[in-house]
Amino acid sequence: MALDAQQIASTAGRPADALTRRDVARAMLTADSEDALATLPDLRRQLISAGNPLSAVFWDTAGAALQKIADGSATVGDVQYWLETTGTEPASMLGMLVWDEPEDRSPVQAEIYDMLVGHLEELLAAGRIDPDALAEGGPDALQQHRRLQEDWMMEPLPDGRVPMWAVLDDSDEELQAEWDAAEAEALAELRSVLADLPARPVPDGDLHAACDRIRAIMRHPGWPKDLLVACGGVDPASLPADDEQLWLTLAAGVFSPREELGINDDLEDDDLEDDDLDTDLPYTELTGDEQSMVALCTLDHYDWLAATTALARGGPGTRASPAALARYVSEYDPDDYDDQADAAAEMFTSAVSLWDVLGAVDDHERLTPLGWWGLPEALLRAWEPSAQH
């Protein structure tokens, strides 16, 4: 398709003499690159006739960009860089925000994006943005231009919204909605599976013995107390008196941790060495509990559903090692997990360790009667809409 100034103007919604470099550049990218190169001189003449010549720098960079696209040497970054040098193309990433593709943007993100484009067009019209300087100034000039955009994103709008937080909060809400939908679907499938299985009786003796051990554990600092407390969201000094309530709360927390790991309150200031307080040194290594928490949070609804339904169907004595759980996930949908068994097994290691503490698996990593009753019940509890997130 040949490029035509009037067609570009129609798409952009403004007359040819008001087209921006971004309008023209984006139109070029929708056409075949070789066709765009061939019609570039004619398009330039049309815009000159319309009183909108743009600049020699723009046409030179356009020709260079289209040539790289035509010969297959252009990267996504190259194209984005060229677009940004038009002066009114937002950076693809601003601070913590990465813009979605146009077709994937939520109404809020699309609104803020268009407002940012409008803001940049106002600055361009006022002479506060020099596209030629952006094109000739290299990465440093473009970095300054991005900071200008970041400043606007952090300034309140007339309606009181801060653009950056409006988009990020909207993204969080969208992700939460997707998470809740996946959780509801997994919960329905779990209920369906359990409805077809025989009743799983509560092993009262095993439950009582396990809770006695748990209460003893909660009197001592370190592992597994701190991790269990964070997962279950419980106060170790005020645990539920009912055994079933205590056990299910902690087991549900393994599936869906309720809190972040806190500072160990059992340590006194005098227990800390001076080196522990050296804030000048970077701290990048995770503690064992932090690694476990990351692993538990990495497992998604599908992983827990596949593993738990396999255990529920198998009954007491079923293999519950990390490798076995990973295999159950793989068998649930082989197409999705052919190459992920080793990674999944590593993620399940922390869960199995905590299940051992809870008495859900034995020393040989096999499901116990307590685990057969309790793990499906705990997963139901974790996914119930009334559960705290």
In terms of residues, how long is the chain? Answer: 389
Pick 245 or 280 by higher pLDDT: 245
Residue type, 169: D
Q: What does the DSSP 8-state code read for residue 270?
A: G
Burial 135-165 (b: 16+ CB within 10 A, else e): beeeeeebeebbeebeebbeeeeeeeeebbe
**Which residue among 113, 137, 165 closes a domain?**
165
The beta strands (E) that lie in 198-281 are given as: none
Is 105 a residue whose pLDDT tops 70? Answer: yes
Domain-embedded: residue 268: no
Note the pLDDT of residue 265.
42
> Are residue 65 and residue 148 in the same domain, yes or no?
yes
**Which residue among 142, 165, 188 closes a domain?**
165
Note the pLDDT of residue 300.
86
Pick 278 or 225 by higher pLDDT: 225
> Are residue 91 and residue 225 in the same domain, yes or no?
no
For residue 98, the SS3 value is strand
Domain-embedded: residue 273: no
- Helices 225-232 and 243-255: crossing angle in degrees, nearest 10, is 90
Rounded to whole angstroms, the maximal C-alpha distance in the chain is: 91
The beta strands (E) that lie in the chain are given as: 93-94, 97-98
Note the pLDDT of residue 357.
96
| Cα-Cα end-to-end distance for the chain | 53
Note the pLDDT of residue 1.
52
> Are residue 160 and residue 23 in the same domain, yes or no?
yes
Note the pLDDT of residue 66.
94
> Are residue 221 and residue 343 in the same domain, yes or no?
yes
Domain-embedded: residue 172: no
> Are residue 116 and residue 232 in the same domain, yes or no?
no
Nearest CA to 351 out of 285, 306, 284 is that of 306
> Are residue 229 and residue 119 in the same domain, yes or no?
no
> Are residue 20 and residue 113 in the same domain, yes or no?
yes
Domain-embedded: residue 188: no
Residues 6+ apart with CB under 8 A from 18: 52
* Owning domain of residue 348: 203-261+287-383
Task: State the Cα–Cα distance between residues 167 and 136, nearest whole angstrom.
Answer: 32
Mean pLDDT of 79-103: 91
Is 271 a residue whose pLDDT tops 50? Answer: no
Question: How many domains does the chain divide into?
Answer: 2
Mean pLDDT of 131-148: 90
Domain-embedded: residue 182: no
| Span 211-223, pLDDT tens digits | 999 999 999 888 8
Mean pLDDT of 372-383: 95
Average pLDDT, the chain: 87
Beta strands at 97-98 and 93-94: parallel, antiparallel or unpaired: antiparallel
> Are residue 305 and residue 379 in the same domain, yes or no?
yes
Domain-embedded: residue 326: yes
Note the pLDDT of residue 290.
86
Domain-embedded: residue 282: no
> Are residue 294 and residue 370 in the same domain, yes or no?
yes
Note the pLDDT of residue 262.
60
Note the pLDDT of residue 172.
77
Note the pLDDT of residue 388.
46
For residue 282, the SS3 value is coil
**Which residue among 118, 139, 165 closes a domain?**
165
Note the pLDDT of residue 343.
67
Task: State the Cα–Cα distance between residues 175 and 177, nearest whole angstrom.
Answer: 5
* pLDDT band per the 50, 70, 90 thresholds, residue 258: confident
| Span 160-182, pLDDT tens digits | 999 999 998 888 787 777 778 88
Domain-embedded: residue 181: no
> Are residue 208 and residue 140 in the same domain, yes or no?
no
- Give CA angle at 138 (133, 140), nearest 5°: 95
Mean pLDDT of 191-208: 94
> Are residue 140 and residue 235 in the same domain, yes or no?
no
Q: What's the pTM?
A: 0.57
Task: Quote the percentage of the chain above a pLDDT of 90.
Answer: 67
Nearest CA to 193 out of 182, 185, 201 is that of 185
Nearest CA to 27 out of 8, 46, 41 is that of 8
> Are residue 28 and residue 89 in the same domain, yes or no?
yes
